[in-house]
Amino acid sequence: MASDLKGLKTQFLEYLEIEKGRGVKTVENYDRYITRFFSYAKVTKPAQITEQMVREFRINLNRSAGVAGTMKKNTQNYHLIALRAFLKFLRKRDVDSLNPERIELAKTGGRDLDLITADELNRIMKAPRGDELGELRDRAILELLFSTGLRVSELCNLNQDLDLTRDEFSVRGKGEKVRVVFLSPEAKKAVAEYIKKRGDMSDALFVSYGMGGKGKGKDLPRLTPRSVERMVKQYAIKAGITRKVTPHVIRHSFATDLLSNGADLRSVQALLGHANIATTQVYTHVTDKHLREVHKQFHGKRRN
């Protein structure tokens, strides 16, 4: 095994991708975070990494000011999580370095959810009104996002070979994990209308039509997550919504809708593809309907 940090980092990233099944984006992020530490610490060997060095790196991250001020605590923690995972990898391979348990994460507040109301969601869903190919595509995207709770990257990876005679299909998500998602009647109808009007031979379900909005070519490019994000933003503006709306906000709406209507947390976790139920629990505080009734029924009864 290589003893230099660069070689060890390469082996670690390959381990993440192949043995741990992490997605390409995750591996790229780990690479960036670990490389940033190496650049700051100016170390070339694992044994040179010290607890004091990591502490100074954390201070540097905390003081790294962007447009909005200091770096967010969650972003700081992503760097430390990546470094800790790298050190655990070294320890498993008997490479002498800092004990990963010496690295503690910064305390963060509860995660804030970007939510929209049911009325706002309905307005966005109705925003693509026409029957042109681009509008049919956009309507299908919006309905599919809300019906399935797909991540935008998962949506963009879908192909035209969806079996619309069924109400479900499998999707490969984070960590190459496969889960089943379900189609609402509205989503099935929107996707079917879009596919019926297409005249191209591209494998991708959602493709870019360029400025002209035409779709008769053979090799139209697959729509990118960034393009979908721009599209959702534009329809939110068209629907008169001033707050920021993204595909992930629609994913939040999918989860809160299920929980508000009585779905159990474990089922929602499976539908979202969350590895840890703690990630899903962030939704519960906004969907606990009975708390309002408890307050109304029991609060202030002793007052005249």
The catalytic site residues sit at 151, 174, 248, 251, 274, 283
**Tokens representing residue 27 in the block:** 């591996």
Separation of alpha carbons 156 and 204, rounded Å: 8
Separation of alpha carbons 207 and 228, rounded Å: 10
Could you tell me which residues are beta bridge partners of residue 159? 204
∠ CA 166-140-221 to the nearest 5 degrees? 105
**Tokens representing residue 132 in the block:** 């042109």
**Tokens representing residue 182 in the block:** 């379900």
Separation of alpha carbons 271 and 288, rounded Å: 19
Of 111, 110, 149, 140, the closest CA to residue 267 belongs to: 149
Of 43, 20, 16, the closest CA to residue 28 belongs to: 16
